[in-house]
Amino acid sequence: MSGRRGRSSAPEVVPPAEFTSYYGRPVLHEPTWKALDIAGYLFLGGLAGGSSLVAAGAQLTGRRRLTRVAKVGSTVAAGLSLVALVHDLGRPERFLHMLRMVKPTSPMSVGSWVLAVYAPTSAVATALDLAGRLPVLGALATGGTAALAPALASYTAALVGDTAVPAWHDGHREMPFVFVSSAGASAAGWALLFAPSSEAEPARRLGIVAAVAELASSRVMEQRMGMVGDAFGTGRAKRWRTASTALLAVGTLGALAAGRRRRPLARAAGAALLAGSACTRFAVFEAGRESARDPRYTVVPQRRRLDAQTSRPVSGVMPARTW
Amino acid sequence: MRVVSVRVQNGQDPALASGYADAPARVGFFTDTSICIGCKACEVACKEWNHVPEDGLVLTGMSYDNTQRLDANSWRHVAFIEQPKRLARELTAGTVDADGGLRWLMSSDVCKHCTHAACLDVCPTGALFRTQFGSVVVQADICNGCGYCVPACPYGVIDQRRGDGRAWKCTLCYDRTKDGLTTACAAACPTESIQYGPLDELRERAAKRLETVKADGFAGARLYGESPDDGVGGQGSIFLLLDEPEVYGLPPDPVVTTRDLPSMWRRVGVAGVALAAAVGAAFVGTRR
């Protein structure tokens, strides 16, 4: 058989023209998930998890107003994320099918259980705090949500990584760190937005650290994906990514400049961090869709892997198309 | 509610690994594309037998392919590829140039019924299950339409049905298999391009057929999905192709995504702890 793929001597450069597909059709099916539901779910899960940890820290250090703000944030986010999930399923009773079994090979199964326990516990913690009743039970519920929070904030990285979608799967090493830093930034943003400046200092520090980590881990992830990282610089993903970068940078600088005293600036920084974190999730979601839609992202890395294994001789012949 | 965790080892019978005490021989397909004539009888027979709904009548201009892809409403899909190449016999006769001419490839694609099936692994409800025959089937009354199997499949086979929301795909005619019948598509195939039977037997038959086809001058002929050592532990539906897989819209080196899941869980754990530590540090280091 004649080779159809001319290759340059530098193996890391794979021009888009050098691959074959079936009429340019995708190999994979694009995820059928709706962007607002599922990218929104990724964001809300992070916000809930991060806020529960902030609530626990605030309660332990006697910051009562920050505690309340964070608890309300976690419960609102958990409730909305359940709404998003159920909306994506189409019919509410279908969520119950998630609870037929516990399946460690399915991050969605694991996540459904985490959320099914977390959401009511968080609601109890918040309700008791608002009512000022049963402090021991409230503390137990707060501790319970804080124990589940790291799992809630991070498992969605395995959820998207555990697919054949190139821009999701190929990021599976760094995605957990992108997602938890995004969770931290959003929770800090929420707290800066609504908590009084006398108690918001931990949130300000967390926001700065998390936003910088989010920016850095996102870049590392895209770099390590190689050509698949191009999906983040294409179409909708590119716009979300640009917005996310700008908002996180503004949020970080704002939080730095605000210090302990400048309340309006701290609030604005909080809003920017919250929005930037959401944009990161939408960028990941859209990059995944783009990478599933374009067969290049599926075929080229696999073909290169295969050719490296079989060390097929390189041919200089390169017809334009096979059809 | 119970905990379900099945891991099939390479070379292991997937039905036995899934807990069937006494499974019959694993069955599957051998699709020999060298004798496919593109009649689409398989597509029609599948739709008729399995009550698969009509999904639009469009003309695509992609040769004779108006089905376009496998999805919730197309469980067999015949691909048509027109290539400016000579036929093998003309080339071996040595009378013509390699370029020019027309070679028309046809291939009936179907669910691969993988040994390591990503759709089955990621399904949170247990709607997708392994049958005693080693095939992978969706139970429509259990599927809750979460759609996770759709991006998990490395071949783009399983899909969500519009207006229904649930996932659908080839069942390897589970109802017919249980009664010892051949699948609808294989029964309808006029050239025996689609062969159904015990997978071990099909693998042997495929290897022999490959030798014949290569001897006939089809240098690009190859088997696809027959190796138990590939990224999905071997397909339950194997193919003889006349060109590279991507020419037919098939992934050249698919890998089951759950192969990396243990490492993903580890990193998720580390990241979760890191988040808790970062929040803790933000409070510990701060004076009131």
For the segment A183-231, what is each residue's pLDDT rounded down to a tens digit? 999 999 999 999 999 999 999 999 999 999 999 999 999 999 999 999 9
> What is the rounded (10 degree) CA torsion for A258, A262, A264, A270?
40
A contact test, residue of B166, B263, B268, B273 with most A CBs within 10 A? B268
Q: Strand, helix or coil at B283?
A: helix
Bridge partners, residue B167, by sequence: B160
Q: Which residue of A has its CA nearest to B155?
A: A28
For the segment B191-207, what is each residue's pLDDT rounded down to a tens digit? 999 999 999 999 999 99
Determine, for residues B63 and A323 on separate chains, whether the beta-carbon distance falls below 8 Å: yes
> Helix-strand-coil percent breakdown of chain A, rounded to 5?
75, 0, 25
Determine, for residues B150 and A206 on separate chains, whether the beta-carbon distance falls below 8 Å: no
Please name the residues in contact with A76: beta carbons below 8 A apart, sequence gap of 6 or more. none
Tokens 């519009």 -> residue: B162
The complex's ipTM works out to 0.94
pLDDT higher than 70, residue A311: no
What are the sequence ranges of the domains in chain A?
A: 35-310
The answer for B 75-94 residues in CB contact with A (under 8 A) is 79, 81-84
For the segment A224-239, what is each residue's pLDDT rounded down to a tens digit? 999 999 999 999 999 9
Determine, for residues A154 and B159 on separate chains, whether the beta-carbon distance falls below 8 Å: no
Packing angle, helices A201-224 and A235-258, rounded to 10 = 150
Tokens 């996102």 -> residue: A218
Determine, for residues A154 and B271 on separate chains, whether the beta-carbon distance falls below 8 Å: yes
Q: How far apart are CA A169 and CA A288, in angstroms?
A: 9
Judged by average pLDDT, the poorest of A41-45, A311-315, B217-221 is A311-315
The 3-class SS string of A236-286 reads HHHHHHHHHHHHHHHHHHHHHHHCCCCHHHHHHHHHHHHHHHHHHHHHHHH
Predicted pLDDT of residue A312 = 54
Instruction: Write down the CATH number for the domain with range B14-255.
Output: 3.30.70.20
The 3-class SS string of B45-90 reads HHHHHHCCCCCCCCCCCCCCCCCCCCECCECEEEEEEEEEECCHHH
Between residues B54 and B86, the one the model is more confident about: B54
What are the sequence ranges of the domains in chain B?
A: 14-255, 257-288
Determine, for residues B275 and A53 on separate chains, whether the beta-carbon distance falls below 8 Å: yes
In terms of Cβ atoms closer than 10 Å to its own Cβ (0-12, 13-18, 19+), residue A219 is: middle
Please name the residues in contact with B3: beta carbons below 8 A apart, sequence gap of 6 or more. A101, A102, A103, A104
Bridge partners, residue B194, by sequence: B31
Contact criterion met (CB below 8 Å) for A91 and A58? no
Interface membership of B232 toward A (CB under 8 Å): no
The model's pTM: 0.93
Q: Strand, helix or coil at A168?
A: helix
Predicted confidence band of residue B189 (pLDDT cuts 50, 70, 90): very high
Tokens of B278: 């970062």
Best CA proximity match to A165, nearest among A72, A289, A269: A289
Q: How far apart are CA A27 and CA B97, in angstroms?
A: 32
For the segment B151-186, what is each residue's pLDDT rounded down to a tens digit? 999 999 999 999 889 999 999 999 999 999 999 999
Compute the nearest-CA separation of A186 from chain B (Å): 12
Contact criterion met (CB below 8 Å) for B55 and B77? no
Interface membership of B121 toward A (CB under 8 Å): yes
At B29, phi and psi to the nearest 5?
-115, 145
Predicted confidence band of residue B92 (pLDDT cuts 50, 70, 90): low
Determine, for residues B275 and A89 on separate chains, whether the beta-carbon distance falls below 8 Å: no
Determine, for residues A172 and B263 on separate chains, whether the beta-carbon distance falls below 8 Å: yes
Mean pLDDT, residues A7-25: 64
Nearest to A306 among B253, B273, B275 (CB): B253
Predicted pLDDT of residue B93 = 67
Residues of chain A neighbouring B147 (CB-CB closer than 8 A):
31-33, 88
The third-level CATH classification (topology) of the domain covering A35-310 is: Formate dehydrogenase/DMSO reductase fold (1.20.1630)
Contact criterion met (CB below 8 Å) for A28 and B70? no
Compute the nearest-CA separation of A112 from chain B (Å): 9
Determine, for residues B272 and A151 on separate chains, whether the beta-carbon distance falls below 8 Å: yes
